[in-house]
Amino acid sequence: MAVLVTGGAGYIGSHMVWALLDHGEDVVVIDRLSTGFGWALAPEAKFYEGDIADRTLLRKIFETHAIDAIIHFAGSVVVPDSVRDPLSYYENNTVKSQALISAAVEAGVPHFVFSSTAAVYGTPQDAAPVLEDSPLRPESPYGSSKLMTEIMLRDTAAAHPFTYTALRYFNVAGADPRGRTGQSTAGATHLIKVACETALGRRSKLQIFGNDYPTPDGTCVRDYIHVSDLTDAHLKALQRLRAGEKSLVANCGYGRGFSVLDVVDCVRRLSGRDLAVETVGRRPGDAAFVVADASVAANELGWKPVHDDLDFIIRTALAWEDHLGKRNER
Which residues have a catalytic role annotated? 142
Q: Residue 120 in 3-state DSSP?
A: helix
Question: In this structure, how many other beta carbons lie within 10 angstroms of the beta carbon of residue 126?
Answer: 7
Distance of CA 112 to the CA centre of its chain: 15
Question: In this structure, how many other beta carbons lie within 10 angstroms of the beta carbon of residue 214?
Answer: 9
Task: Give the burial string for 291-330 (b: 16+ CB within 10 Å, else e).
Answer: bbbbebbbebbebebebbebebbbbbbbbbbebbeeeeee
The answer to whether residues 51 and 75 touch, using CB atoms and an 8 Å cutoff, is no
Cα distance between residue 28 and residue 164, in whole Å:
19
Cα distance between residue 113 and residue 126, in whole Å:
29
Closest CA to 80 of 292, 282, 227, 290: 282
Question: Residue 296: enclosing H or E segment and its boundaries?
Answer: helix 295-296
